[in-house]
Amino acid sequence: MNKQSGFEIQAEQRQSWQSIALVWAGGMICVPCLMVGGVLSGGGLPLPHIVAAILIGYGLICAYMIFIGMAACDTGLPVSVLAEGALGRKGARYIISTLLAIACVGWFGIQSATCGQAFASMAATMLGLGTPSTAMVAACSIVWGIIMLVTACAGFKGLKWLNYVAVPLLVIVCLYGLVAGIVAHDGGEAIAAYAPAQSAGLVYGISMVVASFALGGVISADYCRFAKSRADVVKSSIVGVIPVGLFMLLTGALMSIVTGQYDISAILVSLGVPFLGLIALVLATWTTNVTNAYSGGLALSNLLGFDESKFKITTGVSGAIGTLLAAFGLLNAFQGFLSLMSALIPPLAGVIIAAYWIVGRGKKERFTRRGGFYAPGVIAFIVGALVACITGGTFANFPSLVAAAPWLNTPFFVGPVNGIVVSLVCYVVLEPLLHRAPKAQKV
């Protein structure tokens, strides 16, 4: 590695694999995961196929997040800086950091507002106030956004301690909600009798699972750089993602079969324990959303030319702006755009893996932070991103665009995986053809 970065993690900052696994587990315990489980059962997949889709989908994600995570562990760098080895400093800064900052900060604001709205509704119901006012919803959104921001600004230690407390509590609450929901609705018979007439297919299920955490697999570098060894990256990724993901998606699927509702917090409210529902909703959003703020803050620091010493400032300011915009409904119209930004990012995994593990042979001393735009990486990333969006149905969110060019919506296998494979192959082919010796750069 040619130069030390202001983002590089030092030996004394390394964390145990259990701490990193808990961060992943906290990210997996969320309402969107329950929703995906509900979608899988709603799509008519038999329970064995649902389990297979979950295991295969998260297995694919763990495969590429482990390779990215091990590269980050070797170098100590977050993904927005690690990408400089494949796309060059300007490519990583102006393309990758921009995409990550917009996507992560935007989703942070929207999730904070969603949490605030649900918190206001539940609190109003518990206090007998009826429908919460717009001002109450906005105030709750801002308050919870600030609380989540403070946690994110504390860095990895803030995420670690939040998840040490929240993850066990969330598992207990979700287990209680699952069992109580099944018992209250005589769910055993419904589950035993579940035999869908038509199925959307196993590939559909795998695609849904991968799409739910494809971005998380790419930003794994931001957290795995704290690992003490490559083995710790493997353990934290597998233990933190697959068992918890299987539990959450199966919970959503079973609840949808039994009650027609995948959201554990809503089920707990219907069972007469709204306080538990409130705990589940807030903690699940909190543990997931802080990773948006943390990774978004790192990307924005790199985009603005700062090092990690300015991380708290960039995270706080950008997160506050995102929260305020979302609290007053100004980000809702841009959810399609944010989804596009998120869909463009996963192929970065293929470029990083190709540069570090194939061209660089997985050796830290061969890793080079290139200056400028590095053509092989930039071209490979753009091609992979287009393939991911075209085959993943991303452009279906833009009907007028698809109407003008129908080929932009050509579903095939799993969009993010297609993009990763294509970007990896493109980089391996283009790198020897367009290779440029790295130039000295300012760090």
Q: How confident is residue 14, by pLDDT bands cut at 50, 70 and 90?
A: very high
Q: What are phi and psi of 15, to 5 degrees?
A: -120, 165
Q: What are phi and psi of 227, to 5 degrees?
A: -70, 150
Task: Inform me whether the pLDDT recorded for 439 exceeds 70.
Answer: no
- Containing domain of residue 251, as a range? 14-339
Average of per-residue pLDDT across 189-196: 90
The CA distance from 267 to 149, in Å, is: 28
Q: Which CATH number covers residue 230?
A: 1.10.4160.10
Q: Which of 16, 329, 269 is nearest to 126 (CA)?
A: 269
Q: Which of 103, 9, 88 is nearest to 293 (CA)?
A: 103
Which pLDDT tens digit goes with each residue over 210-228?
Answer: 999 999 999 999 999 999 9
Q: Which of 330, 321, 328 is nearest to 293 (CA)?
A: 321
- In this structure, is residue 87 part of a structural domain? yes
The CA distance from 159 to 291, in Å, is: 8
**How many domains would you assign to the chain?**
1
The CA distance from 440 to 185, in Å, is: 67
Instruction: Provide the whole-model pTM.
Output: 0.93
CA terminus-to-terminus distance, the chain: 13
- In this structure, is residue 7 part of a structural domain? no
How high is the pLDDT of residue 442?
41
Average of per-residue pLDDT across 274-294: 91
Task: Inform me whether the pLDDT recorded for 443 exceeds 50.
Answer: no
**Of 130 and 349, which is predicted with more confidence?**
349
**Of 83 and 115, which is predicted with more confidence?**
83
Task: Inform me whether the pLDDT recorded for 43 exceeds 60.
Answer: yes
- In this structure, is residue 93 part of a structural domain? yes
- In this structure, is residue 390 part of a structural domain? no
- In this structure, is residue 417 part of a structural domain? no
How high is the pLDDT of residue 5?
62
For residues 218 and 71, the answer to whether their CB atoms sit within 8 Å is no
Average of per-residue pLDDT across 427-434: 96
The CA distance from 187 to 115, in Å, is: 29
**Coil, helix or strand at residue 227:** strand
Average of per-residue pLDDT across 255-278: 86
- In this structure, is residue 442 part of a structural domain? no
Which pLDDT tens digit goes with each residue over 335-380?
Answer: 788 788 889 999 999 999 999 999 999 999 999 999 899 999 999 9
β partners of residue 227: 15
- In this structure, is residue 133 part of a structural domain? yes
When the pLDDT of each residue in the chain is averaged and rounded to a whole number, the result is 92
- In this structure, is residue 58 part of a structural domain? yes
| DSSP assignments along 262-323, one per residue | --HHHHHHHTT-HHHHHHHHHHHHHHHHHHHHHHHHHHHHHHTT--GGGHHHHHHHHHHHHH
**Of 330 and 309, which is predicted with more confidence?**
309
How high is the pLDDT of residue 438?
61
170-184, 244-258, 260-274: which has the minimum mean pLDDT? 260-274
β partners of residue 259: none
β partners of residue 15: 227
